[in-house]
Amino acid sequence: MVLTNTRTLVLIIPHWRVIAAGAAHDHLAAVVNKDRVVDVTPDGAEFGITPGTPRREAQKLCADLKIIDDDEERNVRKFNSVVASLESVTPRIEITTGGWCSFPTRGPSRYFGGDQALARVVAERTLKALSATLKTTEVPSVFQPRIGVADSRFAAVLAATSERFSRVQVVVPEGSAAFLAPFPVDVLASKYSPLPEAEELVDVFRRLGLKTLEDIGSLPSEELLARFGSPGLLAQQLAQGIDGRASLLRSISDVVSEESEINPPADHVETAVFVAKALADRIHQHLAIEGSVCVRILIEVESEHGDVSSRLWRHEHRFTPAGITDRVRWQLEGWYRSENPPTGPLSLVRLTVDETVPDSGQQLGFWGEKIVNDELAMRSFVRIQGLLGPDSVTVVQRGGGRRLVDIEQRVPLVATRLDPDQVMTLPESTTAPWPGRLPAPLPLAVLPQAQQLEVTDGNGRRVGVNGRGQVEADPVRIQSDSLGSHLIIGWGGPWLLDEKWWDPAMKSRQARFQFLLADGTSHLCVIENGEWWLEASYE
Amino acid sequence: MQNASVGGSLGNDIHQVASPLVLARHRTFPVVDELAGLFTDRGIRQGSTIEVTGVASLSLASALTISVSRSGSWVGAVGLPMLGSSAASDLGIKFSRWAFIDHPGDQVGAVIQALMAGVDLILIGPDIKLRPDHGRKIVALMRERGASIITVGRAALCNLRPDLCLRVSQAAWSGIGWGHGHLLSRKIEIEVVGRGADSNLRRELVWLPDKEGRLNTVDQSNEPANLLQSACRMQKVSPDIGEQVLQAS
């Protein structure tokens, strides 16, 4: 396994959530997420309130405390001006979340004359953007940006965030392991650590008498792997100044990218987000089949007039389709509120995978086995996958689109890290934001591939729909290979898929019909470009 | 077969030789109240095979899994690539523990055997065929493990003998006319025949689906005997069609 490190600069603005929430440094305020404090002003901290304190306790400790609800969209949006100010330093800024971004130093460092000089430039520009955000000439010292530069991203983050060091901390090349050695193992479980849910692991380390990163780093790797599995190995790599989870080097032909036109171009962010969700699902599936996960993604959105919004996003652990979709939304909300919003409706979304790492969770245990029968079920699915292939067992996941078949997506089981007890909120079938909604109730049998159909009038001629959206003759008979030939005894429609059907420039006319047949069956059919298709049946 | 000369040790080995046969007869999987009346035990007996035929068979077969899907048990669906999750969720099915094996190909016997070991309820689609020897093996596994099978279509195609047959004998849609309205709700009549103790014919009327896409009981107080008169209102029928046939085959 090739372990490649990229020398990285990490920028962190402390108390970003408080800043984004609009609280000043001398206010008494705390930002709360799900009833726990996630950020608190320095004055608030004096009352003993820290991140992790439950909301009620915080209010008891300080009655005058102003509680603000956390909003990830706000956190990211307000960070835009800072990111914009750094785009002249490097085109490759990666945003992890509001107040936290990073980029590889190689090019910019050479350009500005070394890491220290680069860091100073970054600090200056960030300060300038920050004072504009805070509307003050002097940025209070607690809010001032902190910068770390190191061979490994983890070391750079620790260099930036550790109170022990000055605001700009450059770790010498090859010096990361020595730099990291004295840190306590607790840092492996901090919010900046790429190890997910590491509290238990860190707990065990401590009980075994391993107190610092040096202690972890010096253990024999095979024993660590045997005892703790891949999280243990990753912990060791991090401790040694290696970023671990080596990114898979992809060749140009391997690039995973999905794009989609938005037709008709959208004025609403949610329509573009809906389109992006389907792309995100496809990318996720594609990567899952090859056993990797995306940790960095490039999101590009274009408007009909050619404006482009392009941003790199990074996730410390892994991007889920929902995570990618959220970032599309945040990016678009930020774009619309920025100084250069799009000048026309949105017409294209493109997602390009920028960095992947191998997924180490592709085994039996990745469900958490909360219930014994989950484990038994998983065993049988694994056996079936052994017989038929990895995509043979699928589960339900919603996609986006106008056609029923686009929404009814099945995803291979291996592509999901399903927690079966996590509530899967499927969107209401009638409130999807795309045009051409189906009347309820929905048909239960949706054909994976629409089947050709013939619908004829009383004279045996094919029934068509005219330019005014009306049938040219009453449909009387339906005929297809799978259904046979049947008389129609009831019908409804047309329901037009396309709201601009009257536009002469739009060559396709699409309309849906329901047909009740003499044999008692009922079906949902589509006419498109004069051809009939069977889409679904009300079985 | 133990040799007579080692008969002395037979007594000790008997417990290993004869594994206990757990009779699943009295244990059932839950079904929704609206359908519980179809079953003598008010639930699907573990280890049993149910056949569902007729016009709304996919809906009815799916509806039988609603309670199981909500109770933390697993459902496996073989050969049902067309099962739509939107409509099924509206019915009340929870998909968090559903797995689909849409195209088992000629390995279907092995696939169902594998599923037997891990899931509680198996739905088998109408195009799936099983060989007789696979059918027998599966029946044996079902009894041992207590998993149940619901076939959409005749169970005989899978070389399985159904313990219970549900047939949709009548179905009538409301809401759709001739060139106006749309499919709004469907009332179905379900005929139930079982084996042995269950061999009396029973009938039940339900909405499948009702206006919200759900399974629902029918208010029996003002139901005429003939479904045709009550449900469908066809405003205008094309003069070319001589008969109004709504009865399911």
pLDDT digits (tens, 9 = 90+) for B165-197: 999 999 999 999 998 888 999 999 999 988 766
Q: Which residues contact A486 (CB under 8 A, 6 or more apart)?
A: A477, A478, A479, A517, A518, A519, A521
Selecting from B117, B182, B245 the residue whose C-beta is nearest the C-beta of A376 gives: B117
Give the whole-angstrom CA distance, residue A187 versus residue A163: 13
* Best B80, B98, B183 residue to mutate vs chain A (most A CBs within 10 Å): B183
Q: Does A440 touch chain B (CB under 8 A)?
A: yes
Mean pLDDT of B106-133: 92
Which two three-digit tokens encode residue B149?
Answer: 């099978």
Helix (H, G, I), strand (E, B) or coil at B43: strand
Cα separation, A255 vs B55, in Å, equals 48
Tokens 């003759």 — which residue?
A: A473
For residues A391 and A484, give the distance between their C-alpha atoms in angstroms, rounded to a whole number: 32
- In angstroms, the Cα distances linking A357 to A7, A21, A75, A246, A299 are 18, 34, 27, 6, 19
Q: Is some CB atom of chain B closer than 8 A to the CB atom of A457?
A: no
Residue A455 CA to its chain's centroid (Å): 44
| pLDDT class of A408 with cuts at 50, 70, 90 | low
Report the pLDDT averaged over residues A200-229: 82
Instruction: Considering only the beta carbons, identify the residue of A381, A429, A447 that sits closest to B86.
Output: A429
Are the CB atoms for A494 and A463 separated by under 8 Å? no
Contacting residues of A for B111, CB less than 8 Å apart: 384, 387-388
pLDDT, mean of residues A482-511:
74
The answer to whether the complex's ipTM is over 0.90 is: no
Task: Tell me whether residues A441 and B211 touch, CB distance under 8 A.
Answer: yes
- Give the best residue of B85, B93, B116, B245 to mutate against chain A (max A CB count within 10 A): B85
- Residue B128: phi and psi, rounded to 5, are -85, 130
pLDDT of residue A19: 92
Residues of B in contact with A417 (CB under 8 A): none
Task: Tell me: pLDDT of A9 over 90.
Answer: yes
Positions of E strands within B86-180: 98-101, 121-124, 148-152, 164-176
Phi, psi angles (nearest 5°) of residue B3: -75, 140
Gyration radius of chain A's alpha carbons = 28
DSSP letter for A378, please: H
Q: Determine the residue among A371, A378, A380 to mutate to test chain B binding: the one whose Cβ has the most chain B Cβ atoms within 10 Å.
A: A380
**A115-136 as b/e: b if 16+ CB within 10 A:** beebbebbbebbbebbeebbee
Per-residue pLDDT reduced to its tens digit, A436-485: 466 778 889 988 888 999 999 999 999 988 877 788 899 999 999 888 99
CA distances from A323 to A96, A125, A253 (A): 11, 29, 26
How much is the average pLDDT of B193-204?
76
Q: Helix H segments across B92-226?
A: 108-116, 132-145
What mean pLDDT is predicted for residues A102-122?
92
CB of A251 within 8 Å of any CB in chain B? no
* Chain A contact for B236 (CB, 8 A cutoff): no
Arithmetic mean of pLDDT, A264-275: 90
Structural domains of chain B sorted by starting position, each given as residue range(s) with its CATH number in brackets: 7-164 (3.40.50.300), 169-241 (no CATH)
- Number of neighbouring beta carbons within 10 Å of residue A14: 20
Among chain B residues, the shortest Cα distance to A397 is held by B85
Percent of chain A with pLDDT over 90: 35
Tell me which of A316 and A118 has the higher pLDDT.
A118
Asked if pLDDT for residue B237 goes beyond 60, the answer is: no
What confidence score (pLDDT) does residue B236 get? 32
For residue A334, pLDDT over 50 is answered with yes
Output helix, strand, coil percentages for chain B, rounded to the nearest 5: 30, 25, 45
Q: What is the per-residue pLDDT for B2?
A: 38
- The predicted pLDDT at position B197 comes to 61
Query: Has residue A106 got a pLDDT over 90?
Result: no
Structure tokens at A80: 């835009």
Identify the pLDDT of residue A437.
60
Q: What is the pLDDT of residues A62-78, one digit of tens each?
A: 888 899 999 888 899 88
- Asked if B101 lies within 8 A of A421 by C-beta distance, the reply is no
Query: CA-to-CA distance for A514 and A532, rounded, in angstroms?
Result: 12
Q: A65: buried, middle or exposed (CB in 10 Å: 19+, 13-18, 0-12)?
A: buried
* DSSP class per residue in B191-207: EEEESGGG-S-EEEEEE
Is A471 in Cβ contact with B55 (below 8 Å)? Answer: no
CA distance A73 to A334: 9
CA–CA gap between residue A201 and residue A354 (Å, rounded): 30
Note which residues in 176-215 of chain B have CB less than 8 A from chain A: 176-186, 209-213
How far apart are alpha carbons A282 and A411 in whole angstroms?
A: 9
Beta-carbon separation of A516 and B73 below 8 A? no
Reported as a single tens digit per residue, the pLDDT across B32-78 is 988 988 888 888 999 999 999 999 999 999 999 999 988 888 999 99
pLDDT at A402 over 60: no
Q: Do the chains contact at A514 and B81, CB–CB below 8 Å?
A: no
Position A294 pLDDT exceeds 70: yes
* Gap from B201 CA to chain A (nearest CA, Å): 23
